[in-house]
Amino acid sequence: MKEDDNDIDDSFLKGLAASGGFSVPENYFEKSIVDLKGITSQQEPLLNIKNNEGGFEVPESYFEKSANQILEKVGTKQGKKIYLNTWFTLTKVAAVLLAIIALSYVIIIKTKQEQTFSEQLNNVSEEEIIDYLAKNDVKTEWITKAAFSPENKVPSTVNSKNKEVEQYLIDNTDEQTLIEEL
Amino acid sequence: MKIVIEDNELLALFATAGKQSEAFGLILNKYQKQTYWHIRRIIIDHDDADDVLQNTFIKVWENLAKFREDSKLYTWIYRIATNEALQFLQKKKQNLNTSFDDVSYELSEKLSVGAYFNGNQIELKLQQAILTLPEKQRIVFNMKYYDNLKYEEMQEILDTSVGALKASYHHAVKKVEEYLKKQLNQF
């Protein structure tokens, strides 16, 4: 034991025999482990039988066939593994990815533009619109027509329940009132 | 003349892009037979040993890229083979709902029937004697006696201390000796 282990002074043990006083018969270790001689009446050394495969045998050409089977099985697994490594497949995967990225880019940009236009329009005051229309000689008929055209129906805030109100407004509002409102 | 390629060269080849199959073929060629005999001595039956051998090398293929060379290549393959063989016997015990003794008896019977066994009477008796040993002792005995492996190598394969392996082999030899004495004195 080391001296620093729990500060135990075991120096008195040094110099004692490692066997601890025990002894074994002469040549015990040489005999006991591997010497199987002398078991049979003919004193046949049994250890000599290990120069073959212990009596086992295999069918003819077994190792060649077995190796081929293993390589075949491994080849199938390899086929799965390298499937994505083929140039053709990689090109296809890359093309699909590029298409997805391009499509996503277009959708995002378009949405952004629409949002920007809508936000900009909201920031324009009513007076500015009237001034713009007056300066650019926009005829009132055009505005009326545009206001009542099917494409410019009241926005989606009007749901089906308000259809009657919408119809009422259309029927009971004359052109002059609308122009004045603008 | 047969050229023996060193393990580190085989592993380097396996690490080269596009050379994996070639490297694996060479590893298979180098270690297939000794791995088979190692498995066969545990499993006894040829067809079962063949199944276990194939599973062993498929696992070698699947895990070779992860092999870190902390141990030698063949001790790593032996380790996989030993685990596969022991798992096979374990499943066999579970499927048959039998004990170790029953499986040993069944294996011993297979030897007597002689399917792919061409040994003489002494070889047969020796195999039957080995089959009386507990599984671990049986593997230790086979590795030392037939494969001439060093205890340090066996330590890597079986994850058991050298002292325990020496004791195991010592007990195994004693038991085999006693069994053979009894059997051969009957003649």
- For residue B117, give the nearest of A40, A57, A62 by CB distance: A57
CB contact, 8 Å: B122 with chain A? Answer: yes
Q: Inter-chain contact A70–B57, Cβ cutoff 8 Å?
A: yes
Please spell the DSSP secondary structure of A151-176, one letter per residue: GG-S-TTS-GGGHHHHHHHHHH--HH
Each residue's pLDDT tens digit, A4-61: 444 445 554 455 444 444 444 555 334 433 444 443 333 334 444 454 577 788 888 8
Long-range contacts of B32-37 (CB under 8 A, 24+ apart): B32/A63, B32/A66, B32/A67, B32/A70, B32/B57, B33/A63, B34/B74, B34/B147, B35/B77, B35/B78, B35/B81, B36/A58, B36/A63, B36/A66, B37/A53, B37/A56, B37/B146, B37/B147
Higher pLDDT, B57 or A102: B57
Percent of chain A scoring above 70 in pLDDT: 36
CB B10 within 8 A of CB B30: yes
What is the predicted ipTM? 0.82
pLDDT at B60 over 90: yes
* d(C-alpha B19, C-alpha B12), whole Å: 10
Q: What percent of chain A has pLDDT over 90?
A: 5
> Distance (Å) from the C-alpha of residue A36 to the closest C-alpha of chain B?
7
**pLDDT tens digit string along B93-143?**
887 776 666 667 777 777 777 678 877 778 888 888 999 999 899 999 999
- Cross-chain CB nearest to B40 (options A33, A56, A75): A56
Q: What is the pLDDT of residues A157-173, one digit of tens each?
A: 445 556 776 677 677 66
* Beta carbons within 10 angstroms of residue A117's beta carbon: 10
- Percentage helix, strand, coil for chain A under 3-state DSSP, each rounded to 5: 65, 0, 35
Is B38 near chain A, with CB under 8 Å? Answer: no
Euclidean distance between the first and the last CA atom of chain B, given in angstroms as a whole number: 46
Q: Confirm whether pTM is higher than 0.95.
A: no
Hey, is the C-beta of A79 within 8 angstroms of any chain B C-beta? no
The pLDDT value recorded for residue A101 is: 86
